[in-house]
Chain A
Amino acid sequence: MSASILTVRGLSVVFSTENNGLHALDSVSFDVNSREFVCVLGPSGSGKTTLLRVLAGLIPPTSGSFTFSGGEQPSIGMVFQQATLMPWRTVTENIGLPLEVGKVNQAVAREKIRDLIELVGLQGFEDSLPRDLSGGMAQRVAIARALIHDPDLLLLDEPFASLDAMTRERMWMELSRIWQARQKTVVMVTHSINESLFLADRVLVFTQRPGKIKMDMEVDLPRPREDDIRYLARFGELARQLRATIE
């Protein structure tokens, strides 16, 4: 097993001004190893998204800490529930945004964008605008954008929640393949048991608000995982275990 890249210790978040003292996260501690795919599973309102937002540096924790082995400020690729594309930018321009922000040389950027467009299967849509993309395609653009600057950590906030069931399952395969190709450390928030078992090496189950880790489960299913993995007895066992843990 490779070394831990992310260490979270006693992380608590209380929103003091809004919702008069809403306690979102309560003393959450866990480690994420390098190249590990960790799913945070829990009912809605269990502070899962808050955890991601803290890790992304979007909100400060009320107490506790999180450290990255790479350094103080890791580069982060984030995918949100909605694709969150800029409607005035083409697919290429949307994917290239993190490189622009990081002031990467344009020729280098073009090369990287071309590679990623191929990886997420968007050839032929390079110059399309977001309004002409389906939900699944838009989310692929968002994933490509999150990967383009080769971030230390990939944070996925229910990225497939807004997709229809069939597209969602196809995207699991895609993401699984992309993750294996790019060897990224991933923390993904979801409320789908199937999704977490399809994708994760480990599942952290959160309780109702304030979010606490209730279970830290290793997913010992073989990889690569194909669609029929759900018919394995082990899949069923793990799913039942997760189901029983979530209220």
Chain B
Amino acid sequence: MYKRLLPIVFSAFVFLLAWSLAARYSGIPNFILPSPLSVWARFLRAVNDGSLAYHTGITLSEIVLGLIAGVTIATILGYLLAKSRSLEKILSPYIVASQAIPVVAIAPLLIIWLGDGILSKAIICALIVFFPVLVNTIVGVRAVPAALYDLMNSLHASRAQILWKVEAPASLPVFLGGMRVGATLSVIGAIVGELVDAQSGLGFLLRVGDFQYDTPMVFVAVFTLIALALMLYGIVRMLENKFLKWQNIS
């Protein structure tokens, strides 16, 4: 554990040192490149006045809602598309076309229609999470070996038993791969929505920091976003470690 952490601690130290020296001696003004210490001070202030926790909470709830909605719909639809070629033929042109629209372009529309609260951001988030999870669900379910279906059918297994005992576990590795991409993208979804229009959230903090030349605040928000993305990624990795033990080549 100690040995694994050492290079990370070392590289972080070098990074912070280089940043401090650059901020101090490059002549770049503080409102453009704040020093690590001023960012740290701003971070403490934001923690103490509760604003950081509040805005992080808002963004996190948008992400969680978006993830739940996006993943649920994508999984169910992906399963249906994987099982039915004709349904795939009908729907896939629309699904692919919908992916050609940048989410940034429709975010303002969604906010006009649904207001600038949590709902519109959660939906933007869900839209961005949807595609990778959908594609991986389809690929995962299609990759279930035909022999396992034969086995289950020779045992007169029900549709539900085939789903839960074969299809779900067999497609889980690919599905979780999609979740890993989706979880990191979901942070982008929430921030895109908040940057367009919001009264709260980390994207809102970013914009306020920007308007007020409170650059340390911008840095605090960015670092918090990184932490959120890492945390979500870590949760998916934890699920993988828990459920895919059989796959890890020891």
Binding site for B on A (CB under 8 A): 53, 56-58, 73, 75-76, 78, 80, 82, 84, 86-89, 97-98, 100-102, 129, 131, 149, 155
Name 10 A/B residue pairs within 8 A (Cβ), A-sorted. A53-B150, A57-B156, A73-B156, A78-B154, A80-B147, A80-B151, A86-B166, A88-B246, A89-B246, A98-B155
Instruction: Determine the chain A residues whose CB is within 8 A of the CB of B148 once the complex forms.
Output: 84, 86
Let me know if B154 and A56 touch, CB within 8 A: yes
CB-CB contacts below 8 Å: B111-155 with A: 145, 147-148, 150-155
Q: Contacts A84-B145, A87-B246 given: A101-B165 contact, CB under 8 Å?
A: yes
Instruction: Determine the chain B residues whose CB is within 8 A of the CB of A87 once the complex forms.
Output: 246-247
Let me know if B161 and A101 touch, CB within 8 A: yes
Q: CB within 8 A of B151: which of A73, A78, A88, A149? A: A78
Instruction: Determine the chain A residues whose CB is within 8 A of the CB of B247 once the complex forms.
Output: 87-88
Cα A97 to Cα B244 in complex, Å, equals 19
Chain B interface main SS type:
helix
Instruction: Determine the chain A residues whose CB is within 8 A of the CB of B172 once the complex forms.
Output: 88
User: Separation in Å of the A83 CB from the closest CB of chain B?
Assistant: 9
Let me know if A86 and B169 touch, CB within 8 A: yes
User: Separation in Å of the A187 CB from the closest CB of chain B?
Assistant: 13
Instruction: Determine the chain A residues whose CB is within 8 A of the CB of B244 once the complex forms.
Output: 88
Let me know if A84 and B165 touch, CB within 8 A: no
CB-CB contacts below 8 Å: B201-250 with A: 244, 246-247, 249
Closest 4 interchain pairs by CB? Answer: A88-B246, A78-B154, A84-B147, A56-B154
B44 contacts chain A at the CB level, 8 A cutoff: no
Binding site for A on B (CB under 8 A): 145, 147-148, 150-157, 161, 165-166, 169-170, 172, 244, 246-247, 249
Task: Give B150's nearest chain A residue, CB to CB.
Answer: A58
Cα A88 to Cα B64 in complex, Å, equals 29
Instruction: Determine the chain A residues whose CB is within 8 A of the CB of B156 once the complex forms.
Output: 57, 73, 75, 101
Q: CB within 8 A of A57: which of B147, B154, B166? A: B154
Chain A interface main SS type:
loop
Cα A131 to Cα B150 in complex, Å, equals 21
User: Separation in Å of the B112 CB from the closest CB of chain A?
Assistant: 47
Let me know if B153 and A129 touch, CB within 8 A: no
Cα A82 to Cα B145 in complex, Å, equals 11
User: Separation in Å of the B47 CB from the closest CB of chain A?
Assistant: 43
Q: Contacts A84-B145, A131-B246 given: A97-B165 contact, CB under 8 Å?
A: yes
Let me know if B150 and A88 touch, CB within 8 A: no
Cα A140 to Cα B152 in complex, Å, equals 18
Instruction: Determine the chain A residues whose CB is within 8 A of the CB of B165 once the complex forms.
Output: 86, 97, 100-101
Let me know if A97 and B155 touch, CB within 8 A: yes
Beyond A80-B150, A100-B165, 17 additional contacts (C-beta under 8 Å) are A53-B150, A56-B150, A57-B154, A57-B156, A75-B156, A78-B154, A80-B147, A82-B147, A88-B170, A88-B244, A97-B151, A97-B155, A101-B161, A102-B155, A131-B246, A131-B249, A155-B154
Q: CB within 8 A of B154: which of A58, A82, A86, A129? A: A58
User: Separation in Å of the B17 CB from the closest CB of chain A?
Assistant: 46
Task: Give A129's nearest chain B residue, CB to CB.
Answer: B246
Cα A100 to Cα B151 in complex, Å, equals 13
Task: Give B169's nearest chain A residue, CB to CB.
Answer: A88
Instruction: Determine the chain B residues whose CB is within 8 A of the CB of A131 once the complex forms.
Output: 246, 249
Task: Give B153's nearest chain A residue, CB to CB.
Answer: A58
Let me know if B154 and A84 touch, CB within 8 A: no
Cα A102 to Cα B169 in complex, Å, equals 19
